[in-house]
Amino acid sequence: MTSIAVIPARGGSKRIPRKNIKNFHGNPLISYSIKAAINSGCFDRIIVSTDDEEIAEVAIRYGAEVPFIRNKELSNDFSGTTPVIQDVIEKLENTNIEYLCCIYATAPMISSNDIITGLNTIKAKLDCDYAFSITSYAFPIQRSLLLQKEGRVSMHNAEMFDVRSQDLEECWHDAGQFYWGTKHAWQEGLPIFSSNSIGIKIPRYRVQDIDTLEDWDMAEILYRAWRQG
């Protein structure tokens, strides 16, 4: 039985053009995900799913495979992750695959140790469909605010106003780095955010979505601090 890494990386990023191969601290952004996958030692194959020839060339140069170019229908702004993974499974036609790990190309602070933890977790839990990276919110979401006209505010849950922060339950969100799943779960499109999934905790200082140029700048700051720390 084999484990496969799948790194989705389409070429049509609009807010940050050519984001997946843009220079990030001296290397293409996608290279950090490929390196972490290689260093984890978890995978029989590391596959980049892309519709872009230049991304494919970069991926191969850094040690990944690009056995096919992704169809344009799976490369628009509305294409989800699960159909991309299902496409890889279909094209590989390998019935010996047991686990697949979707690794985002925009996760320069991903750790190979976390990837290993994810694999060990999903193997150890018989009823586990997925194991994926999560991190905690920096502020209690129970005390979140709504912004209305003229900048006026109201609370989502006004009854939480007088509750001390330390008395509120800690909440977590998807860290957007990796998603281990069984072949069956991916093929059937089972929900990732469910009671059959296990969260792998990632510290907040290693988590940053990269959707805008401001996000990019923050990711570079966090990465520099992490590496220098």
| pLDDT score recorded for residue 119 | 97
Average pLDDT across the chain, whole number: 95
Cβ–Cβ < 8 Å for 110, 178 = yes
What is the distance in angstroms between the CA of the first residue and the CA of the last residue of the chain? 39
Dist. CA 47–CA 103, nearest whole Å = 10
| pLDDT score recorded for residue 75 | 85
pLDDT, tens only, 127-146? 999 999 999 999 999 999 99
Place of tokens 């992750």: 81
Above 80 in pLDDT, residue 94?
A: no
- Indicate the burial class of 219 (C-beta count within 10 angstroms; 0-12, 13-18, 19 or more): buried
Give me the helices (H) in 42-133, please.
53-61, 81-92, 112-124
| pLDDT score recorded for residue 205 | 96
| pLDDT score recorded for residue 77 | 77
* Residue ranges of domains in the chain, CATH in brackets: 2-134+173-204 (3.90.550.10)
| pLDDT score recorded for residue 125 | 87
For residue 213, what are the CA distances in angstroms to 64, 91, 123, 216, 224? 27, 35, 38, 5, 17
Dist. CA 221–CA 217, nearest whole Å = 6
| pLDDT score recorded for residue 159 | 93
Above 80 in pLDDT, residue 36?
A: yes
Answer whether 0.85 is exceeded by the pTM. Answer: yes
| pLDDT score recorded for residue 168 | 94
| pLDDT score recorded for residue 2 | 92
Q: Which residue has the higher pLDDT, 136 or 15?
A: 136
pLDDT, tens only, 177-206? 999 999 999 999 999 999 999 999 999 999
Residues 6+ apart with CB under 8 A from 31: 58, 62
Above 90 in pLDDT, residue 16?
A: yes
Q: What is the mean pLDDT of residues 147-172?
A: 93
Cβ–Cβ < 8 Å for 178, 103 = yes
